[in-house]
Chain A
Amino acid sequence: MRLYVSEGNPQCLKVLAAFELSGAQCEVEAVSHEECIVPFLGHSKLPALLLDNGNFLFSSNVICRYLLTSGGDETSTAVGQWLEWETLDLQPVALHALRLAVLQDKKSEALESLRPSLSYIERSLQKTGKTFLTSDELSAADVVLWGTLYPLLSEPMLLTAVDFKALTAWFQRVGSFPACKKASDGTFKGHGLQSLKSYLQRQPTNSTQATRATTDDPTVDDGDERLLTDEEIQAAVQAWSKGLTACPKRRQIVHPILPQQDERNILITSALPYVNNVPHLGNIIGCVLSADVFARFCRLRNWNTLFVCGTDEYGTATETKAMEEGLTPQEICDKYNAIHTQIYHWFGISFDYFGRTTTAKQTEISQDIFWRLLKRGFLLEDTVEQLHCQRCAKFLADRFVEGVCPFCSYPEARGDQCDKCGKLINAVELKNPQCKVCRDTPAVRTSKHLFLDLPKLEGRLEEWLETTLEKGNWTPNARFITRSWIRDGLKPRCITRDLKWGTPVPLEEFAEKVFYVWFDAPIGYLSITANYTDQWEKWWKNPDKVQLYNFMAKDNVPFHSVVFPCSLLGAEDNYTLVNHLIATEYLNYEDGKFSKSRGVGVFGDMAKDTGIPADIWRFYLLFIRPEGQDSAFCWSDLLLKNNSELLNNLGNFVNRAAMFVSKFFEGRVPTMELNQEDQRLLALTTWELRQYLQLLEKVRIRDALKCILNISRHGNQYIQVNEPWKRLKGSDADRSRAATVTGVAVNMACLLSVMLQPYMPTVSATIQEQLQAPPLCNMLTEEFVCILPAGHKIGTISPLFQKLEVEQVEALRQRFGGQKPDKAVEKQEATTTTTTTIDDVQELAKAVAQQGDKVRQLKALGTEKAVVNSEVARLLELKKALQVAQGKTPVQKEKKK
């Protein structure tokens, strides 16, 4: 990308600010006002952005929107509407005003011409009550409007002359982003409006546009305030006055946690992470973190909750990893289990028990289920053709075979599943199979195996699914994947493998074989619980009293919704089957995927080294949780969310509320006398609280987080409108009002600390410590009660969040951005393992092919020569890198000799 700007061009200000905010990698070139950069336009149009695909964007608003939009597009209508208004209404008026102010020195007249537009913005801000124009987050709309207004409103005299409070606050809020400061300093260089003179003199005057100011618009109404009935308000006031005493006592957690008669017993599992990999952020949000939020929520609801997880340790991958590292499989498992444990501990995952699958209980329970299935005739015996690699002298596990998908012809299908079409594959069905380790073509050999007779169990499965899907809370993707599996028809599935590292099959003729991980691994949930308590069957053989929640990423759905339930149904031992299946979509990293081998993305063990606290990670990951659709982790967005949502919204409110108590009322919560406004606020907060409870009960984790931010937004607005710091200096009535506002606000802050606990446990604890909140308050009921009564003494107050700086985040982005292709070659030279070499050569070969396609495409489209040439240069570079990478392998061999 390349951004063209001209000096003293007011349109460039917003674009530069957007560029700084986005952290986009892009060269910025300053050109003269007349330079024609966009090839197809007959006149100069600046700023302009040359995209990587050779296209030009030549309007400042579109450039800003492009730079600041990443993935999630929920607010795009609102943003688009502001941008359209800005383009057609504000821009002409602002240009006219600028001309008046700069060229004719008629500043007050300039301001008057702008007033209707400013008033429109003011009313919109007041109406929505949001921190920024479209939401509580900074968007392209804010940057664009700010950029247009900045030259006029930044003049000290002008801003004070207009009496628009919300607008002024908003304007300063946007301007305080370092990116905006940097852009404005760079544009004006301390010369103020005069730096725009030469630009404005060149602009043609267009009087018709200038007079087309926005008129006061009667269609703007206040209709979107939530309608609260008097009953709701009265109920909220009553609940509030009862205080904490009316609340039930919080359950004491005594291990082992066991299901109780007449209670809501909730069993939560998170998909077992495979032991030989360090989990990345996507793995963390996909299962353990989501499950953790829900578990913490259930505990706050006073439900009897058990949350278990552990590492999945059996299988070929472990064996191979052990060979690589020169350890035994058990040693590998011990090593990585410890790494996993540490990572989850750092992220504050509140497992009641974190176990593993390589235990005696696993063998015991797996074999028991196996015997039961065998005795009931649900297992079949058959010889299978299997791929055997002669060079490696072993049967190839599925993940060590790669080839062309028989269904969709995807060239890199794995031996068990195609990543493209998602269909399960029998490794021998792959076209052109290759051993992933040595690249030899494996031969087909026969071996005797056991199969789970899924077709025989299909009837029971469907019967169970029908009621479960109806009553249970399954995410849409889980329902969809399950249905399509059943629709395609079930086939017998092999449950044994020619391997050593696994649960042994307890039959003599299968002495050399173990259970296949997909059969074995889900049993891990049971065996891990059994390692936690001998009374594990109270959880796992108690379907009437226990509600089971499974958390996972969507690729794991079929094993939890079809295959494992079949094993348990066939075993006929009254097992607890999944009631609620919560599956996330995928989380991408910036524009691509996480990749361990390329070093792209943040992995669990590195998050700590960034210096960003675990709770901030939790907050951001949950904020972008891939609920309903894929989402992406993006550094600049992390910065934005931290600085706008946490620092400016939540942190600001909690800190101010507590600060007022501390500074103005000697640290004691003042007496509150609620008037109508306060009562409304109580009802509004109660409404948001109930919304939050409902959403979390449906495991809509991301949506529920918004309710927290809404409450703090209401709180900020409440303080802003009532200005307790001013009223303190006023009459007795004013002082009493200040006291009430402070008291209500600090109680809202306390409620927020409780609601925040599932998401940010450390921050929650910090707030409660600062407020000296009673531990009893850590419970969620349907009511917002006065937790901190008048006279309650609070502790020492300090800021909760730290601002993230652009430079800091940019440095992190670069650090985790992976290796550039030419660097990949260097890295290769440093490594000795053959697998990475193969990977990198492939990676490069792929890049060469892609780049080649791109060049051909560009040429075919008749793109500008300069663009084509630069792409050709890149292609040559890549080809060179590939040659070096390929040529290196023989060199290494010679050395070994």
Chain B
Amino acid sequence: MAEAALKELASLEKYLGLKKTNKYSTKGERKVPVLQTKDGQDIVGLVTIACHLVKAAKQEQLLGRTREESAVVQQWLEYRIVQLGAPGAKEESRSTLRDLNEYLEDKVYFGGDFLSLADILMYYGLHSCMVDLTVQDREKFVNVSRWFSHIQQLPNVQQHLPRVHIMKNRIYTNVH
């Protein structure tokens, strides 16, 4: 878990085009990621560090352009660490996918019409789950798959993760 979080942050750094490699460690039983900043202040927690990196890269639009938008982004970032970072997450993944599929039905991104940090962290968080899905399930959660396929094709997002193949043509046309 800890290692995954650190890899994820390293990928995020690359995606954001941040040159200087930050120093990371983990702490506590839960192996919470810690970023040691230059001024000696520690920044703790996956989402907090990710937001910090986005600001450091001056790409604040990834956190939402208005108060409402940034609240929605924060909402999905929290959802990501609560639902997809917890130990029991695997068992709950189907209900999570069901919810996300419902939510993404009329949306291009988690923020609605703009790419945000929520999409990137959700992508990292959902990757292992998407790998495990059968082709039939990928079709069942069609909106999640559409979104996932879209995000992994964005430049520089994929980084450390292998590509998940999503078929464009449906095979199981009679299934809903």
Instruction: State the A residues within 8 Å of B (CB).
Output: 39-43, 51-53, 55, 57-59, 61-63, 65-66, 69-70, 76-77, 80-81, 83-85, 87-89, 206, 208-209, 212, 214-215, 217, 219, 223-224, 861-863
Contacts and interface: CB of A to CB of B under 8 A. Distances in A.
A55 B81 contact: no
B71 A77 contact: no
Contact of A76 (B34, B41, B51): B51
Given A39-B102, A63-B71, A208-B88, 20 more contacts: A41-B99, A42-B95, A51-B72, A55-B68, A55-B71, A55-B112, A57-B75, A59-B78, A61-B78, A66-B68, A66-B71, A66-B74, A77-B48, A80-B47, A84-B48, A84-B78, A212-B30, A219-B27, A219-B34, A224-B41
A63 B71 CA distance: 8
B43 A55 contact: no
B98 A42 contact: yes
B109 to A, nearest CB: 12
9 contacts: A59-B78, A61-B78, A76-B51, A77-B43, A77-B52, A77-B55, A80-B48, A88-B82, A861-B107
Contacts of B102: 39-42
A52 B78 CA distance: 21
Interface residues of B, number: 42
B81 A88 contact: yes
Interface in B132-166: none
B112 A861 contact: yes
Contact of B29 (A43, A63, A212, A862): A212
A90 B110 CA distance: 27
A66 B107 CA distance: 22
Residue in B29, B55, B87 with the greatest tally of chain A CB atoms within 10 Å: B29
B63 to A, nearest CB: 9
A58 B72 CA distance: 10
Interface string B93-118: 00100110011011100001100000
Contacts of B125: none
A222 B106 CA distance: 49
B9 to A, nearest CB: 14
B135 to A, nearest CB: 23
B128 to A, nearest CB: 19
B106 A863 contact: yes
B45 A84 contact: yes
B46 interface: yes
A83 B75 CA distance: 12
A46 to B, nearest CB: 14
Interface string B28-49: 1110101000001111111110
Nearest to A54: B112
Nearest first, the 3 A-B pairs at minimum CB distance are: A84-B45, A66-B71, A40-B102
A51 B105 contact: no
Nearest to B104: A40
B95 to A, nearest CB: 6
Nearest to B82: A87
A55 B116 CA distance: 15
A819 B7 CA distance: 53
Contacts of B23: none
Contact of A88 (B30, B71, B98, B99): B30
Contacts of A206: 88
B79 A40 contact: no
Residue in A88, A206, A212 with the greatest tally of chain B CB atoms within 10 Å: A88
Residue in B42, B48, B51, B112 with the greatest tally of chain A CB atoms within 10 Å: B48
A77 B102 CA distance: 31
A53 to B, nearest CB: 5
Interface string B18-30: 0000000001111
A160 B114 CA distance: 50
